Amino acid sequence: MNWLEKNNEFIILWKDDHKSTFSMPFLRKKCPCALCREKRENKNPLKLFEEQSPQALHISPVGHYAIQIEWADGHSSGIYTFDMLRRLCSCSHCKNS
């Protein structure tokens, strides 16, 4: 498997030649850490300002099973497993599977 970040997108080419493309804002919203999961579950209905488009400062592998993204907002505790990323793929092939 190979991956790269390009034009504010994260692209994975899987071993089975499938290609997944994720926008960085989508991945920031899907951060799997406990704090972000809690924030998603307890949405603030009085949110007045939209957050700026998230920027990834650094993406690093975590063993052979995941990546960790360091975001410009200082957040970096989410571990994005490759299994999770494959499940999040929303290409037409994956949607119909």
Distance CA 79, CA 61 (A): 9
DSSP per-residue string spanning 9-21: EEEEE-TTS-EEE
Domain boundaries, the chain: 2-39+55-95
DSSP SS3 for 7: coil
> According to CATH, what is the number of the domain 2-39+55-95?
3.30.2020.30
pLDDT, tens digit, 9 for 90 and up, residues 52-76: 788 999 999 999 999 999 999 999 9
- Does residue 49 surpass a pLDDT of 60? no
DSSP per-residue string spanning 69-87: EEETTS----EEEHHHHHH
pLDDT, tens digit, 9 for 90 and up, residues 76-89: 999 999 999 999 99
